[in-house]
Structure 1
Amino acid sequence: MSLRLAPSSSLPTSTSNTTTASRISAQSKDALDRGAPSAPGLHDTLRSSLSTVSPSSTQVSSSHPLEARLKAWTATQESTRQNILRRTFGIAEPLRRGMELKLVRDADSFRPTALGEPGRVHEDILCGRDAEISWEDVYNGQDGLRLSSGGDGQGVGWMEEMERKVGMGKW
């Protein structure tokens, strides 16, 4: 239980937009071959689909060390905030805030895509980010959904989405 200001520096400090042939799969290699002619390492959205991988694999991994560092920074700041609350008010205050945050996140998880992205106002207030503007607040496009063949979220009915969320097709 420390009041650390910055996360430990065990994260990588450099990145490369190209990967070696031994570390990439055939699908990733195919995606690199379809890259833009002027920038071979970049994905060309106009010549292929909106996603660089097939819709079956939905795991997103960060390749830039700064993104991992920012996630670690946010986690460190949240841990410090919880420790300060616990030292000041006792265990009840961080526990109450954690339960409220879980309720807010669970309430937004069962929202159909047809209604758009859920508003994160409650979560931002509970996390203390209500005075910040991040890129998620400005850019809320649906290009990452990949629910239909086009990848833009169009053509997906709310019935199919709810069936998928509650697991009706897994019998």
Structure 2
Amino acid sequence: MRDGQLNIESQLNGRHPLQARLENWEETQMNMRMQNYKRTFGMGEPIRRTMEMQIVKETTLMPAVVGTPANIHLDILKNKDLDVDWEDVYTGDDQPLDFHSELEKRMGI
């Protein structure tokens, strides 16, 4: 980079090679975690965790009293329950919904 020379791949794709790694960071970390579970506990553990994550992703939950619903179940399965991300603090919603407003919205009342 200091010499002003870039590799052919970055010239063809029009983006930096590090960008692809950063975009796939979460997936790479999850694959590494599943491989460690497989080595430690056997094949059943990654299969069970993958099934649980799929079930939790498909489940719709009512939102919390303030703000948008955070899927805490998925965060626990991904070991991200203690992390505070940008989306957790700044939800982007101007008006928070409570339980009753969400229920009325879903039932069409």
TM-score bracket, shorter-length normalisation: 0.5 to 0.7
Shift of 1:111: 5.5
1:117 and 1:104 mapped to 2: Cα distance? 17
SS in 1 for 2:91: coil
- Which runs of 5 or more residues in structure 1 are unaligned? 1-8, 15-64, 144-156, 161-171
The two structures have a TM-score, normalised by structure 2, of 0.61
Q: Structure 2 matches for 1:27-42, cutoff 5 A?
A: none
Matched to 2:34, the amino acid is Q
- Which runs of 5 or more residues in structure 2 are unaligned? 1-8, 95-104
Tell me the residue number matched to 2:99: none
8 Å Cα contact 2:56/2:73 also seen in 1: yes
Whether 2:80 is the aligned partner of 1:129: answer: yes
Tell me the residue number matched to 1:88: 40
The two structures have a TM-score, normalised by structure 1, of 0.41
1:77 to 13, 26, 29: 29
- More helix by percentage: 2
Q: How many residues are treated as equivalent by the alignment? A: 85
Shift of 1:158: 3.5
Matched to 1:73, the amino acid is W
Shift of 1:119: 2.3
1:97 and 1:78 mapped to 2: Cα distance? 11
Moved over 3 A (4+): 157-160
Shift of 1:118: 2.4
Matched to 1:132, the amino acid is D
2:51 and 2:69 mapped to 1: Cα distance? 19
8 Å Cα contact 2:67/2:91 also seen in 1: no
Q: Deviations over 1:79-112 (max 9, x none)?
A: 111111111111100011111111111113x758
The change in CA–CA distance for 1:69 and 1:142 in structure 2 (over 3 A counts) is: farther
RMSD: 3.1
